[in-house]
Structure 1
Amino acid sequence: MEKGSPCKSILLLCGDYMEDFEAMIPFQALQAFGISVHAACPGKKAGEFCRTSIHILSGNQNNFERIGHNFILNKTFDEIELSKYDGLVIPGGRAPEYLAVNDSVVNLVSKFSTFGKPLAAICHGPLVLAAADAIRSRKCTAFLDHMEDYQVTVPFHSLQALGCQVEATCPYKKAGETCLNVVHDFEEGSQTYSEKPGQHFTVTLDFDSLNELKFDALVIPGGRAAEVLALDERIIEFVKDFMGCNKPVASIGHGQQILAAAGVLKGRKCTAHPAVKLDVVMAGGTWLEPTPVDRSFVDGNLVTAATWSDHPQFISQLMALLGISVSFN
């Protein structure tokens, strides 16, 4: 290959906690092939960095995440000129969750698609393509236990403290086995939450023993478990049946991805983690902005909340639907 000025130019769309390899390998490999690559992130300038995440396949149902490198950007997002680029690369990781609800990003990707420029998205990257309506009638693939620690343990123990019989089930585990939880927190200066290993949560009921008629309410925690569970037909059918019985359903964070996949949000009002807004809207739901962040909402038999900081109101609203109250002497 002859040395000289690059004959092609690629834009790499970045964000905090994009997957480490999925960003760095295209970035450096394409440069090695003689292609100019600009890495840009909305809200950041050239010389600033995005935190990456390292996703490692483990013995659990989902990948395990560790904090990766500080990836230095070489292009200011607000200075991007579409005409100067021949293609777009979108890494996966968790960055696409919030990039997909960023109007500036969606508009840019839509223009790349309209002009017929090559688009390459890996893992969770197609979320951004979907938001930009760039995969309609196109063939594509994507990769979606890791419940959020508080979002499963707080409702579980709170309802037990109220005298409820609470069972925890998972389609891939048997009673007595454990699911690895994750801890989601916001780090100062980051555009989205970080993820760390959490507690091991014990399953109490075999999934094959599940019967919606035996339960008065359903709670769906968030975290990345929802990505996997939303693809399981057994889960989808159970949620459909439960909602069809008009029994209370309380879902928090990313849990609403399961409701969206089950097709039960059409015409319903709900909130979720902001990264799940696209799922809610595309499923026909009416999006309720989680402002303030510790607010949850009720629509008929459905209680939804955005983050674990909503738990007091979230659990209180579920109690009301169940007809449970607390009295003091």
Structure 2
Amino acid sequence: MARVLVLTADAAEELDSMYPVFRLREGGHEAVVAAPSTRAVKLVVHDFEPGWDAYTEKPGHQLPVDLAFGQVDPEDYDALVIPGGRAPEYIRLDPDVDRIVRHFFDNGLPVGTICHGPQVPAALGLLRGRTTAAYPPLKFDMEQAGATFVDAPDVVDGAMVSCRGWPDLPEWSRAFMQVLERSSVPV
């Protein structure tokens, strides 16, 4: 069983956050949710509606949190997941998030990013020379961070697995679970 850390916060996309947590637990792994504080985070639901140029956002469920970012010892985890939504825009500025995310990249451990999730490693300079998917309007941001952007549902670059958003979660989940199981983690 792997211990997988999920970094999130308020305004994270509901499916991007809950689907991986449930899928990991279904697969026999431990999913541990970390956020800026230990109170439950307020998730949002993003949808694509006719007549809108961008996605819409509505309040979603709350997701219980196990640890605050400052309490996380990344050595205790085998993999990392960063869901999308608006949360990555501001958690990428947190010094503890920097410390945590660098650990996984520096050690070649599995990292999953969904939708806007790649904004975190991009802001930290960790996508330079890597290949990633992301929410398609982030293509320019990913390229400016030195990454090659691919518009696909399950982009695997070494131990990193990324996707464009919640519609890709079945493909992303299969790819992430395969990377997790192939990693040096005893499963």
Q: Which amino acid aligns with 1:221?
A: P
Question: 1:263 and 2:121 equivalent?
Answer: no
Asked whether 1:323 is paired with 2:185, we answer no
The 8 Å contact of residues 43 and 63 in structure 2, kept in 1 or not, is answered as: yes
Q: Is structure 2 residue 153 aligned with structure 1 residue 288?
A: no
Q: Which runs of 5+ in 2 are unaligned?
A: 1-8, 183-187
- Please report how far the alpha carbon of residue 192 of structure 1 lies from its aligned counterpart in structure 2 after TM superposition: 1.2
Match of 2:31 among 166, 175, 178: 166
Deviation digits for residues 36-61 of structure 1, max 9, x if unmatched? Answer: xxxxxxxxxxxxxxxxxxxxxxxxxx
List gaps (5 residues or longer) in structure 1: 1-61, 63-144, 325-329
Distance in 1, Cα, partners of 2:173 & 2:73: 23
Hey, what's the Cα distance between the residues in 1 that align with 2:135 and 2:47? 13
SS at match of 1:199: strand
Residue in 1 aligned with 2:102? 240
| Pairing partner for 1:152 from 9, 14, 17 | 17
Cα distance in structure 2, aligned partners of 1:225 and 1:231 = 11
1:299 to 2:161 alignment: no
* SS of equivalent residue, structure 2 residue 32: coil
CA apart distance, 1:278: 2.1
CA distance in structure 2 between the partners assigned to 1:289 and 1:209 by the alignment: 35
Percent same amino acid among aligned pairs? Answer: 37
Matched, 1:276 2:134: no
Distance 1:206 1:287 in 2: 31
Q: CA deviation at 1:190?
A: 1.4
1:107-256 superposed matches below 5 A:
145-171=10-36, 173-174=37-38, 177-256=39-118
Shift of 1:208: 2.6
Question: Which residue identity does 1:241 align to in structure 2?
Answer: H
The alpha carbon displacement at 1:318 in A equals 1.0
Distance of 1:150 and 1:196 partners within structure 2: 13
Q: Which amino acid aligns with 1:262?
A: L
**Distance in structure 2 (CA, Å) of the matches to 1:304 and 1:322:** 13
Shift of the alpha carbon at 1:230?
A: 1.3
* Rounded Cα–Cα distance in structure 2 between residues aligned with 1:232 and 1:276: 21
Shift of residue 289 of structure 1? 2.0
Deviation at 1:194, TM superposition (A): 0.5
Q: Aligned equivalents of 1:216 and 1:317: distance in 2?
A: 16
Runs of 4+ in 1 over 6 A off after TM superposition: none
TM-score (norm 2): 0.89
Cα distance in 1 for residues equivalent to 2:161 and 2:26? 20
Q: How many residues were matched structurally?
A: 174
Task: Classify the secondary structure of the residue corresponding to 2:117.
Answer: helix
Letter in 2 for 1:167: V
Counterpart amino acid of residue 299 in structure 1: D
**Greater Rg by CA:** 1
